[in-house]
Chain A
Amino acid sequence: MDANTFLIQVLNGIQYGLLLFLVASGLTLILGIMGIINLAHGTFYMVGAYLAFSLSQHFGNLWLAMAGGVVIAVVIGLVLEWLLISRLYHRDHLYQVLLTYGLILIFEELRSVVFGDDVHGVAVPEILRVSIPLTETLSYPVYRLWMSAVCLVLAVGMYFLIQKTRLGMIIRAGAANREMVQSLGININLLYRLVFALGVALAAFAGMIAAPVASVFPGMGNQVLIVCFVVVVIGGIGSVKGAMLAAILIGLVDTFGKVISLEIGGVQLLPQLSGMMIYVLMAGVLLARPEGLFGKRA
């Protein structure tokens, strides 16, 4: 692997990691603040991608599609929390798992009814349809750089939200404790609804910006969901910092797992088994720190 290919893979890995961060940060916040395990979180990523696909066809413009898509995602988040999730706060995690599993089936099937089961593509916006040449044969698409930049901006935004605002203060206090939050004079129902909607919007937005590079296909949400679980487990529940670090780590491990070839004792391990790499990483973290890199020790 020469320096340029290496650079490209690093960029790809970071870009994938940042994208994962967008989805995983919502998941970890919903877990940490609301104590809700949401299997349907990956589904919102899929919803975002399909929104980008259909709205960009409708508007003929991905930017408008994204703006509209985020609004729709927020509405979906608010309605779901109000209608269903709010009934789960006092129930065992088991029921949260089942209800959100039911939501996956519903959303997947609705997707199939509305869009069918084909793979769709979304065009990269004209203005970003350029590549930066690295050598005569290699170049790097600007759209991917733009994705990374957007994710970074959002990450910085979340950093400020958590470090500088009242909402952030509650998040940092690790407040799954309703009484404590209420004693601070905060409307807890509203807080939960907003956090949930924020999580949904982040996941959907990730799906929208990923649509042009990853295409839009059935089951895309579940794939992301499980990787995000790994991110949360490695980073520690409720830790946005941990999610960031773990997401980048997994982005790089996954990307390099696919391009490195590794053979031990005549058995080709990589890239054949690259799909398993991140789980091996998770197993390692569990052995060393079962509560995750930035998790609180139970």
Chain B
Amino acid sequence: MGKLRPGTIILVVCLLALAVLPWFAEKYYVQLFTKMMIMAIFAMSLDLLVGFTGLVSLGHAAFFGVAGYVLAFAAPEYEAANLWVSLPLAMACSGLLALVIGVLVLRTSGIYFIMVTLAFAQMVFFLFHDTEFGGGADGIYVYAKPVAAIAGWEPFTLENHTHFYFVVLALLVLVYTGLRILLDSLFGRVIVGIRVNEHRMRSLGYRTFRYKLACFVLAGVLAGMAGYFAAAQFGFVNPETLGWHQSGSVLMMVILGGMGTLTGAVVGAFSMILLELGLQGLPAIGGMDLSKHWQLLMGGFIVCAVLLLPHGLLGLGRTASRLRRKPAEARDG
């Protein structure tokens, strides 16, 4: 307490860098970082489930995508939605969906939980994919960004990419701080206890289902927040937004950075998007256009990451020290 740890210093430096970025970067990069921060919020919401509560959800994109659709529905055609109405509405819808799905999926655990979350997310996918009201497979456009007007006064305008950037940065900080506080609260202690030893939590008198459900809903609401801004930034939503590739890739972000740390989720989100961009910018080698088939390398990267980085990027130090210790252990054993 009171002493500045190296981690805190790095965190503050990164935050300052993010805060001054728009004065130095071109529009493209400001928008890129906006996207990365949105995905970081999304990844943190999943980290709450996977890293802290021990619930491996493979359907988290459903809550992300649904909020985007709510924004699209809330905006009358060619007109902008009001941010103060549509954002809470979108988050509430994601939360409601998480409540309904949560009640069902939390009856299972382990491998079942993974499969069932994936399956229900797919159900939501089909709901939008097979019906007319969500524009079917093509999705719908969000023609205008939401307006932040309160009785005629507009504190900021999302049409301005710098304003958009700062709104998302503020939310990133808010969500991060909020989750830190949450994790140190009574509720936070309970969910971590559930991850470590759910059986013992029950025998101590905790009705673990309630806490897991509350956590699932909260994670859904936060994913909804991220999904809302993603839809506003990209200007459209389609079923892929809530598809299972989205769920898989956000899970990869959480693991890549190191789960159960929040910061790891942010680092993971930033690195995954940069990696994606890097791979998409690769030149053609021989007859093969690598940039077109970047997913091949991404797949290879994921496989290698799982085999070589058991603790994620933030845990690199731990992985390295374990590797160094291994020969000695082998001799002892």
Residues in chain A within 8 A of chain B (CB atoms): 31, 35, 37, 39, 84, 87, 91, 93-95, 97-99, 101-110, 112-113, 222, 226, 229-230, 232-233, 237, 272-276, 279-280, 282-283, 286-287, 290-292, 298
Q: Which residues of B contact A109 (CB under 8 A)?
A: 293, 295-296, 299
Query: Is there an interface contact between B129 and A105, defined as CB atoms closer than 8 Å?
Result: no
Residue of A nearest to B289 (CB): A113
Query: Is there an interface contact between A229 and B302, defined as CB atoms closer than 8 Å?
Result: no
**Given that A226-B119, A273-B131, A275-B126 are contacting pairs, would A113 and B296 also be in contact in the complex, using a CB cutoff of 8 Å?**
yes
Q: Which listed residue, B119, B130, B255, B310, touches A229 by the CB 8 Å rule? A: B119
**Given that A98-B251, A276-B123 are contacting pairs, would A104 and B107 also be in contact in the complex, using a CB cutoff of 8 Å?**
no
Q: Which residues of B contact A107 (CB under 8 A)?
A: 299
Q: Closest approach, in angstroms, between the C-beta of B9 and any C-beta of chain A? A: 31
How many residues on the B side are at the interface (Cβ–Cβ under 8 A)?
A: 43
User: Which residues of B92-116 have CB atoms within 8 Å of chain A's CB atoms?
Assistant: 104-105, 107-112, 114-116
Q: Which residues of A contact B108 (CB under 8 A)?
A: 233, 286, 290-291
Query: Is there an interface contact between B114 and A103, defined as CB atoms closer than 8 Å?
Result: no
Query: Is there an interface contact between A113 and B288, defined as CB atoms closer than 8 Å?
Result: yes
Query: Is there an interface contact between B296 and A102, defined as CB atoms closer than 8 Å?
Result: no
7 closest pairs, A vs B, by CB? A105-B299, A102-B302, A279-B123, A275-B126, A106-B299, A109-B296, A102-B303
Query: Is there an interface contact between A279 and B120, defined as CB atoms closer than 8 Å?
Result: yes
Interface core residue of B129, B298, B303 (most chain A CB under 10 Å): B303
Q: Is B58's CB within 8 Å of the partner chain A? A: yes
Q: Is B34's CB within 8 Å of the partner chain A? A: no
User: Which residues of B281-300 have CB atoms within 8 Å of chain A's CB atoms?
Assistant: 288, 293, 295-296, 298-300
Query: Is there an interface contact between B123 and A286, defined as CB atoms closer than 8 Å?
Result: no
Q: Which listed residue, A97, A99, A298, touches B58 by the CB 8 Å rule? A: A97
Q: Which residues of B contact A94 (CB under 8 A)?
A: 50, 56, 251, 255
Q: Closest approach, in angstroms, between the C-beta of B53 and any C-beta of chain A? A: 13
CA–CA, A103 and B295, complex, Å:
10
A-B contact pairs, 10 of them (CB 8 A): A37-B115, A93-B56, A107-B299, A109-B296, A113-B296, A273-B131, A274-B130, A276-B123, A279-B120, A286-B116
Q: Closest approach, in angstroms, between the C-beta of B289 and any C-beta of chain A? A: 9
CA–CA, A94 and B53, complex, Å:
13
Q: Is B244's CB within 8 Å of the partner chain A? A: yes
Q: Which residues of A contact B50 (CB under 8 A)?
A: 94
CA–CA, A94 and B117, complex, Å:
13
CA–CA, A239 and B159, complex, Å:
55
Residue of A nearest to B249 (CB): A101
Query: Is there an interface contact between A93 and B119, defined as CB atoms closer than 8 Å?
Result: no
Q: Closest approach, in angstroms, between the C-beta of B272 and any C-beta of chain A? A: 12
Q: Which residues of B contact A287 (CB under 8 A)?
A: 104, 107
Q: Which residues of A contact B300 (CB under 8 A)?
A: 102, 106
Q: Closest approach, in angstroms, between the C-beta of A265 and any C-beta of chain B? A: 16
CA–CA, A209 and B152, complex, Å:
64
CA–CA, A274 and B115, complex, Å:
20
User: Which residues of B233-255 have CB atoms within 8 Å of chain A's CB atoms?
Assistant: 244, 248, 251-252, 255
CA–CA, A297 and B104, complex, Å:
17
Query: Is there an interface contact between A84 and B303, defined as CB atoms closer than 8 Å?
Result: yes
Q: Closest approach, in angstroms, between the C-beta of A23 and any C-beta of chain B? A: 14
Q: Is B118's CB within 8 Å of the partner chain A? A: yes
Q: Which residues of B contact A286 (CB under 8 A)?
A: 104-105, 107-108, 116
Q: Closest approach, in angstroms, between the C-beta of B107 and any C-beta of chain A? A: 4
**A-B CB contacts (within 8 Å), total count:** 128
Chain B contact surface mostly:
helix
Query: Is there an interface contact between B302 and A99, defined as CB atoms closer than 8 Å?
Result: yes
CA–CA, A124 and B129, complex, Å:
31
Q: Which residues of A contact B263 (CB under 8 A)?
A: none
- Beyond the given A109-B295, A113-B293, please list 18 additional residue pairs across the A-B interface where CB-CB is below 8 A: A31-B111, A91-B310, A93-B111, A94-B255, A95-B310, A99-B303, A99-B307, A101-B302, A102-B301, A102-B302, A102-B303, A105-B299, A107-B299, A109-B293, A222-B244, A233-B119, A276-B126, A287-B107
Interface core residue of B112, B120, B248, B288 (most chain A CB under 10 Å): B112
Q: Closest approach, in angstroms, between the C-beta of B42 and any C-beta of chain A? A: 17
Interface core residue of A97, A106, A107 (most chain B CB under 10 Å): A97
Q: Closest approach, in angstroms, between the C-beta of B49 and any C-beta of chain A? A: 11
Q: Closest approach, in angstroms, between the C-beta of B43 and any C-beta of chain A? A: 14
Query: Is there an interface contact between B296 and A273, defined as CB atoms closer than 8 Å?
Result: no
Query: Is there an interface contact between B56 and A87, defined as CB atoms closer than 8 Å?
Result: no
**Chain B 304-328 per-residue mask, 1 if CB under 8 angstroms from chain A, else 0:** 0111001000000000000000000
**Given that A229-B115, A290-B108 are contacting pairs, would A99 and B306 also be in contact in the complex, using a CB cutoff of 8 Å?**
yes
Residue of A nearest to B298 (CB): A105
Residue of B nearest to A84 (CB): B303
Query: Is there an interface contact between B110 and A105, defined as CB atoms closer than 8 Å?
Result: no
Q: Which listed residue, B107, B306, B310, touches A290 by the CB 8 Å rule? A: B107
Q: Which listed residue, A31, A99, A272, touches B130 by the CB 8 Å rule? A: A272
Q: Which residues of B contact A106 (CB under 8 A)?
A: 296, 299-300, 303
Q: Is B122's CB within 8 Å of the partner chain A? A: yes
Q: Is B25's CB within 8 Å of the partner chain A? A: no
Residue of B nearest to A282 (CB): B119
CA–CA, A292 and B112, complex, Å:
10
Q: Which residues of B contact A103 (CB under 8 A)?
A: 299, 303
CA–CA, A94 and B111, complex, Å:
9
Q: Which residues of A contact B244 (CB under 8 A)?
A: 222, 226
